[in-house]
């Protein structure tokens, strides 16, 4: 029993050393976390995303975000606030996975809406099914700003986030999206 407790204490001490190194700006210490936690993080991401490549990408993004975290933020979160780094990373990973799912759902909804409109267009009483190239061509008919705004919206950005990106008011973005829908509807009803 004492041997097991001694090994657990040594492992805990080793983790603490790497955490302190990481918080003090040693980015190479992240290799320790990657080697020890990758598999667990992969399975968490896979449970959400149900896709091997997406799960691998999610874990890669997680460690990329960890590396991009400033030293002051590392020290504040992990040392000052005494946040458990592994639990902190799991929360970031879960949130990223949920965001990915939200973006996919949003894309499917918008493409489905466009396909639904496109299918209403008849040529000699034959329904036309829209392809990805047709969607790209259809979006190509929009003015540049409206196309960029619609593409950002399709990929899951909120109206507020798009407004911040273009330095515009959210109402202006809403109006632009409405204008784009109108243009697309007019194009499809020709």
Rounded to 5°, angle at Cα 187 from 181 and 189 = 100
162 has pLDDT over 90: no
15 has pLDDT over 70: yes
What does residue 83 show for φ and ψ, rounded to 5 degrees? -75, 135
Q: Kindly state the helix (H) or strand (E) to which residue 141 belongs, with its residue range.
A: none
For the chain, the C-alpha Rg in angstroms (whole number) is: 24
Residue ranges and CATH numbers for the domains of the chain are: 2-100 (1.10.1740), 102-188 (1.10.10.10)
Instruction: Identify the pLDDT of residue 46.
Output: 93
Whether the model clears a pTM of 0.75, i.e. scores above it, the answer is no
- Which residue do the tokens 């202006």 mark? 172
What does residue 116 show for φ and ψ, rounded to 5 degrees? -60, -45
Instruction: Identify the pLDDT of residue 75.
Output: 80
pLDDT digits (tens, 9 = 90+) for 73-129: 878 877 778 888 888 889 999 999 988 888 888 777 777 767 666 555 544 444 455
Q: What is the mean pLDDT of residues 174-178?
A: 86
Where is pLDDT greater, at 36 or 116?
36
29 has pLDDT over 90: no
Instruction: Identify the pLDDT of residue 127.
Output: 47
């Amino acid at each position: 029993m004492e041997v097991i407790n001694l090994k657990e204490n040594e492992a805990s001490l080793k983790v603490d050393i790497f955490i302190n190194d990481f918080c003090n700006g040693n980015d190479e210490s992240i290799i320790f976390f990657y080697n020890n936690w990758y598999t667990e993080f992969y399975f968490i991401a896979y449970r959400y995303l149900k896709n091997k490549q997406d799960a691998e990408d999610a874990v890669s993004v997680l460690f990329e975000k960890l590396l991009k975290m400033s030293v002051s933020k590392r020290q504040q979160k992990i040392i000052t606030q005494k946040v458990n780094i592994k639990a902190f990373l799991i929360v970031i990973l879960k949130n990223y996975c949920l965001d990915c799912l939200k973006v996919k759902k949003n894309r499917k909804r918008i493409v489905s809406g466009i396909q639904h409109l496109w299918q209403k267009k008849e040529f000699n009483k034959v329904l036309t099914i829209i392809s990805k190239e047709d969607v790209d061509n259809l979006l190509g008919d929009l003015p540049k700003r409206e196309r960029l705004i619609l593409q950002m919206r399709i990929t899951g950005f909120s109206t507020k986030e798009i407004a911040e990106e273009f330095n515009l008011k959210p109402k202006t973005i809403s109006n632009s999206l409405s204008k784009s829908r109108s243009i697309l509807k007019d194009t499809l009803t020709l």
